[in-house]
Amino acid sequence: NRMALLLLHLGNFHRDGQNYDKANACYEQAVENLQSSDPCGLLANLLSEMGILNYFQREWEEAVVCLNESIDTFTTIYGKEGMSCNWASSLIALGLVNGELGNGEKDKYLDQGLEMIQRLEFDGYALLNHLDFFKKQALTAIGQKRKR
């Protein structure tokens, strides 16, 4: 869907300019355009971007919804052994959000995200989008836990 793809890029442009309200509006409109179709990578990426935006805005509950939907959509499309940069970002972001909320599944998602990053790096993928940032955040969070 070309319109959804255009809206994704426009949303990313606004996000990078820290105009989060406009970014979120673009993402929401793009998701609306795609929800009547079968699950696709573009929808999963949009949900991931929305969840990451919510993470940066510290809107934890909204982040949990978007990130879970993103992870579920990636799993539906690619199966449990699939991988993508946005998928790994979603896993780590969800782990960090769960940490902020005091939920017990923080480590599960951090570990899954870091494992996916290792597979991506092994296969020669560059760490795209926010993935390098989330990799560092996850390693910091895990390191803090081990120091206790």
Q: Tell me: the pLDDT tens digits for 75-95?
A: 999 998 888 888 999 999 999
Instruction: Give yes or no for a contact between 4 and 28, defined as CB atoms under 8 angstroms apart.
Output: no
For the segment(s) 2-147, the CATH number from 1.25.40.10, 3.40.50.720, 3.40.50.1820, 3.40.50.300 is 1.25.40.10
What's the pLDDT score for residue 60? Answer: 95
Mean pLDDT, rounded, for 60-88? 91
Q: Using alpha carbons only, what angle is made at residue 45 by residues 88 and 50, rounded to the nearest 5 degrees? A: 95
**Calculated CA dihedral for residues 32, 34, 35, 39, nearest 10 degrees:** -150
CA nearest 93: which of 58, 51, 125?
51
The beta-carbon contacts of 8-12 under 8 Å, at least 24 apart in sequence, are 8/42, 8/45, 8/46, 8/49, 11/49, 12/49
> So what's the pLDDT on residue 141?
83
Q: Residue 129: what pLDDT?
A: 54
Residues 6+ apart with CB under 8 A from 108: 95
- Residue range 140-146: average pLDDT? 71
* Mean pLDDT, rounded, for 29-41: 79
Q: What is the mean pLDDT of the chain?
A: 85
Provide the residue count of the chain: 148
Q: For residue 13, what pLDDT is reported?
A: 87
| Choice between 21 and 129, residue whose per-residue pLDDT is larger | 21
Query: Looking at residues 102-129, what average pLDDT do you find?
Result: 83
Sign of CA dihedral 131, 137, 141, 143: positive
